[in-house]
Amino acid sequence: MPEKAVHIYIEGRVQGVWFRGWTAQQADRLGLTGWVRNLRDGRVEAVLAGKSADVETMLALCRSGPPLARVDHVAIADADAAGLSGFEKRPTI
């Protein structure tokens, strides 16, 4: 079971800049489980779970995003990591 799990919403210029793919790549590198997807309102939503220090590292990365992104705000809440395995890019909802 992961030490920490968070549910985040990222606002700014975060779609059309490879944010989902970058997030999945970074999460895999850190050994996190969870998922990421675009929302129709222009935000990116993700659940990140793993060792507390690795989740904190990922949160710091998400506050800046990939090179073409502009992150204005990251909303963070605790999440339930039950049933998560691997990290996936989910379709837009």
- Check 13, 20, 63, 70 and give the catalytic one: 20
Q: Is 38 assigned a catalytic role?
A: yes
28-54 pLDDT, tens digit each: 999 999 999 999 999 999 999 999 999
Give the CA angle between residues 44, 54, 67 to the nearest 5°.
Answer: 45
Q: Can you say how many angstroms the Cα of residue 9 is from the centroid of all Cα atoms in its chain?
A: 8
List, in order of start, the domains of the chain with CATH numbers. 4-81 (3.30.70.100)
- Check 13, 37, 38, 40 and give the catalytic one: 38
Give the CA angle between residues 62, 48, 21 to the nearest 5°.
Answer: 55
Local structure of 48: helix, strand or coil? strand
Helix (H) or strand (E) holding 58: helix 52-62
71-88 pLDDT, tens digit each: 999 999 999 988 899 999
